[in-house]
Amino acid sequence: MKNSTRKSAAVLLLGLLGMAGLQSCRPGETVPQNVILFIADGSGFNHVAAASLFMHGREGAQVYTRFPMRCAVSTYPAGGPVYDPHSAWQAFSYVEDGTTDSAAAATAMSTGVKTCNGAINVDPDKNRLTSAFEIAEQRGKSTGIVSSVFFSHATPACFAAHNPSRDNYLAIAREMLLESPVDVIMGCGHPLFNQQGKPALVPCYAYIGGKETWEALRLGRAGGDADLDGEADAWTLVETKAAFQALMSGPTPRRVLGIPQVFQTLQQERMGDGQAAPFTVSLIEGIPTLREMTLAALNVLDEDRDGFFLMVEGGAVDWAAHDNQDGRMIEEQIDFDRAVEAVVDWVEAHSSWKETLIIVTSDHETGYLTGPGSGDMASGDDGMSAVWFPLQNRGRGEMPELQWNIGEHTNSLVPFYAKGAGSLRFEEYAVGSDPVRGAYLDNTDIGRVLIAFLEDR
């Protein structure tokens, strides 16, 4: 490939990575009763591919990659630059500039409005924005948030808080726990446990709204007005893996706060070689998986006859990608994929695709993950040209060969998959055309469509 021209590199890309023209046309123009929005934080097309290669020995094996609505998403924050598909596949470094953070991206998906990096559900002038979750609550639906990182982190915060800065964890956690009407919150941030899931030498109440809030939670005395009847609705706190598993079936409390006994992430921040192959460093015991947390959340929310909105974040895909950890990124992506699979099974057993919509997407790509050898290469007459190679498959259970190009976010398009009621509504918005990824919509379109569903009723 040393002498490859831009054109032949583009042809290679289209052949090996092409996602163009994959949308199908099926009647599905209904309004969903239930929406489950899955966000794999920091996950691009190649993160999904890497997990599939490791798990199945081939790309495109995850259940959601065969959903009827498939396209890509642009993620740039307020002020741009607007993603330019042609420049993105001409200069290798194009996607390294103008990147979003999780706060701006999740605000776009939750409210339909672009904002600046760091902002949680407020616009660039710090005006409060209304999220789809708030409207869902006003329409009598239940709402829930599940994350594999601490629950007051940027992505989950954008579904229940408003703050000009994502770093104001204390205020964000307090708004989520004491003011928001959300019915289920499950995520890390336990004040009394460390990254290994062992008792912490020094408690840290930073992510849980302070010591006072934690003590009120433990006494069953904390919580805002979830059902909007003017009276406070206290949280039922669950902490152990067994308690999460018990919530997966049978009767449940009305309002559940699930804080696994670990500090910032379920598993990604545990000790051991961060570069080791997936699942070779033993997992922390006593911690639920994202799948178990998601099924527990669903079992609480599905009592509501008006339906529910649930957001599930694979938050530590991004953390592993920032650290360029091959194995842990794949572990986190697999944990996320298993949660999606479980919800697909739940829809088929307990709901239907006429009633429920599942969306699987990402907020931005992290690490600029490509196949080995990608980058700027000397080309015949015009100096350098950029080439992107696919990941190299080493077979099931073996690490694919991959290349991290940076430790930060990129402006690359990310994947979008949807199935169920209303899923084809997104087709109308997928008007962008990328030479490699095909049709794409913008992250604000996700928020706009979710809000339109609620206003259509």
Q: Which residues bind Zn ion (CB under 5 A)?
A: 318
CB of 190 to Zn ion, least distance (A): 22
Task: Decide whether 67 or 319 has the Cβ nearer to Zn ion.
Answer: 319
Task: Decide whether 318 or 335 has the Cβ nearer to Zn ion.
Answer: 318
Task: Decide whether 239 or 318 has the Cβ nearer to Zn ion.
Answer: 318
Task: Decide whether 325 or 351 has the Cβ nearer to Zn ion.
Answer: 325
CB of 230 to Zn ion, least distance (A): 39
Task: Decide whether 78 or 135 has the Cβ nearer to Zn ion.
Answer: 78
Q: Return d(Cα 45, Cα 50) in angstroms, integer.
A: 9
Task: Decide whether 45 or 389 has the Cβ nearer to Zn ion.
Answer: 45
CB of 130 to Zn ion, least distance (A): 26
Collapsing DSSP to helix, strand or coil, 121 comes out as: coil
CB of 319 to Zn ion, least distance (A): 7
CB of 197 to Zn ion, least distance (A): 23
Task: Decide whether 74 or 261 has the Cβ nearer to Zn ion.
Answer: 74
Q: Name residue 23's amino acid.
A: Q
Residue 82's φ and ψ, nearest 5 degrees, are -60, 135
Name the residue number minimizing CB distance to Zn ion: 318
Residue 238 bridge partners (DSSP) = 258
Sign of the torsion formed by the C-alpha atoms of 82, 86, 89 and 90: negative
Task: Decide whether 34 or 370 has the Cβ nearer to Zn ion.
Answer: 370
CB of 154 to Zn ion, least distance (A): 8
Widest distance between CA atoms in the chain: 73
CB of 101 to Zn ion, least distance (A): 7
Q: Name residue 185's amino acid.
A: I
Collapsing DSSP to helix, strand or coil, 134 comes out as: helix
Which residue in 113, 134, 133 sits closest to 123, CA to CA? Answer: 113
Task: Decide whether 298 or 311 has the Cβ nearer to Zn ion.
Answer: 311
CB of 366 to Zn ion, least distance (A): 5
Q: How many residues does the chain have?
A: 457
* Contact partners, residue 5, CB within 8 Å, separation at least 6: 379, 380, 385
Burial of 457 (0-12, 13-18, 19+ CB in 10 A): exposed
* Contact partners, residue 421, CB within 8 Å, separation at least 6: 28, 30, 31, 32, 33, 353, 354, 355, 356, 357
CB of 30 to Zn ion, least distance (A): 35
Q: Which phi-psi region, left, alpha or beta, contains residue 184 (left: φ > 0; alpha: ψ -120 to 50)?
A: beta
Q: Return d(Cα 314, Cα 187) in angstroms, integer.
A: 10
CB of 409 to Zn ion, least distance (A): 5
* Contact partners, residue 456, CB within 8 Å, separation at least 6: 31
Residue 398, both tokens: 């073996």
Task: Decide whether 220 or 407 has the Cβ nearer to Zn ion.
Answer: 407
> What is the residue-wise DSSP string for 261-306?
SSSSBSSTT-SS-TTSPTT-SPPPTT---HHHHHHHHHHHHTT-TT
